[in-house]
Amino acid sequence: MKRKNKINSSLFYEKNLFSFYLKKRILSIKFILCILFSILISFSQSTFGRTISSQYLDEYIFWQKFLGVFSLTIFPLYFPIIISADIVSGEFSNKSAMIIYSMESRTKILSIKLLILIISIFILNLFYFLTFLIIAFIKTGIFVSIHIFLIGFLIIFIEFLFISSLTFMISALTRNTFVSFILPFFYISITSFLEYYELELLSYNSYKMKIISFFENFLFNEQIIFSIVKNISIIIFFGLPILIMLITFYSFKQLDIRID
C-alpha cells in the first residue's frame, strides 16, 4: 500500500519519461557539438588585455562586446534551432512517438519535452557565459559583476528561449524536422533585413536591443527610463516565448496524431 501511494503521488511515470528524454537530449552528438562550438565562440570573444578595470570589463567587454555578439553575428542563435528542431518531429519521422506507444497524455509529453528543451538551452547558455567568465578571470584576475552577469545571462537566455519556442512550435505542429529547422533559420537570417526595411515590429532582435539599452541605462548610468515603446518592448520580449508555448500546447492538443 505504501509503495502504491509512493507511485501515485510522486510523478513516478513522468520521472521515467523525463529521465529518458533528458539522457537522450544531453548525450546527443548535436547537443555536445553545440556546446563545444558555443565554448569556441565564447573563447574567440575573450581577447582583451591584462590591465583593465572592473568597470571596463563590465561595461565594455561584457555588456557591449560580448552581449553585442548576439546582435552582430547570428551564428550562436542557430544553436537553439539545432537543439529544438527535432524535439517533437524527430519522433514522428522515425515513427517512435511516445504519444503512440506510452499512451501518456499529449500535454504531459509535450510539457516534459518543453522542460527538457529549457534545461538544454539553459545548459548551453551556461557553458557560453561561464567560458567567458572564466577566461576573463584568468586573463584579468577580476570577475564580471554578478548582477550585470546575471542580467546579461537572462537576456540571452530569453532570446534563446524565444528561438527555441518558435522552433518547438513548428516542430510540434508540422511534425517535420526539415521545416522546423528551415523556418526559424530563415527568420533569423532575415532579421537584419526586417530592421533595414523598417519592419522592426516583426524583428524580435529589435525588442531585445531596446531591453539591452534599458538595462544599460539602468546598470551603468543608474537611470530608469520608461516609455510606452520600452514598456511594450519589455512585455513582448518576455511575453512572446510564453505566448508561443501556450499556442503550441493548445494547437498540439487539437491535432490528429497519425502515423502513415
Partner 1 sequence: MTSAKEPLIKIQGLTKDYYSKIVVDNINLEIFESCFAILGPNGAGKTTTILMLLGLVKPSIGTVSIFGTNILNSSGKIRRKIGFLPENVGFYPNLTGRKFLKLITSLRISDRRIDNQIESYLEWSGLEKSYWDNAIKSYSRGMKQRLGLAQAFAGEPKIVFLDEPLSNIDPIGREEFIQKIRLKREEGITVIISSHIIPEIEQLADYIAFIDDGKIKASDKIYELAQIYGFDEYEITRINYNDSMSLKELNELLSAEKGLFSDLPKVLSEKIIFRTNNPEKVDNIILNYKDFNYTPLSGTLSKLYKKIIKGESYEKKE
For residue 64 the three cell numbers come to: 557591449
Cβ-proximal residues to 119 (8 Å cutoff; 6+ apart), any chain: 22
33: contact with partner 1 by CB under 8 A: no
Q: Which of residues 3-22 bind partner 1 (CB under 8 A)?
A: 3, 7, 12-13, 16-17, 20
CB of 136 to partner 1, least distance (A): 39
Q: Which of residues 69-98 bind partner 1 (CB under 8 A)?
A: 94-96, 98
DSSP letter (8 states) at residue 65: I
- Give 50 or 258: the residue with its C-beta nearer to partner 1: 258
Q: How far apart are CA 174 and CA 180, in angstroms?
A: 7
- In the list 59, 104, 200, 216, the residue contacting partner 1 (rule: CB under 8 A) is 104
Cα of 208 vs its chain's centroid, Å: 13
- Give 13 or 75: the residue with its C-beta nearer to partner 1: 13
In the stretch 36-75, what mask flags binding to partner 1 with x, by CB under 8 A?
A: ----------------------------------------
- Is there a contact between 177 and 256 (Cβ–Cβ < 8 Å)? no
* Residue at grid coordinates 552577469: 149
CB of 117 to partner 1, least distance (A): 18
- Give 13 or 43: the residue with its C-beta nearer to partner 1: 13
H helical segments located in 10-105: 12-26, 29-44, 54-56, 69-72, 78-84, 89-93, 98-101
- Helix, strand or coil for residue 180? helix
Q: Which of residues 156-175 bind partner 1 (CB under 8 A)?
A: none
Site residues for partner 1 per CB under 8 A: 3, 7, 12-13, 16-17, 20, 24, 94-96, 98-105, 108, 254, 256-260
